[in-house]
Amino acid sequence: MVANADENAVAGSAPEVVGVGSRRVACDGVGGALGHPRVWLEMGEANFVVCGYCDRRFVLRAGASGAENELLAPGVWEGPGGH
């Protein structure tokens, strides 16, 4: 991950782009036998982060504050087939 990089400069061809409301997200490669260990990713000052295992790109949704709510765990992405 390139620190403080422009989102478009490193966009490349991510296999999947996921809009999230938190700057902290979890990724397990959609889980199951084809997944990978769950990792927690931090966006820092950027508006996106890329998973080092599966290259899934998590992008902070427009208007989202990025704040976390530990009770609701908004950073945990449980999309199609996950967890």
CA distance 57 to 51: 6
| CA gap 27, 82 in Å, rounded | 9
Tokens of residue 12, six digits: 């490349």
Distance CA 27, CA 74 (A): 12
18 forms beta bridges with: 58
Does the pTM of the predicted model rise above 0.75? no
Convert the pLDDT of each residue in 12-63 to its tens digit.
Answer: 667 889 998 888 888 888 767 778 998 999 998 899 999 999 999 999 998 8
Query: Which of 3.20.20.140, 1.10.260.40, 2.60.260.40, 3.40.50.2300 would CATH assign to domain 17-60?
Result: 2.60.260.40
Contact criterion met (CB below 8 Å) for 41 and 49: yes
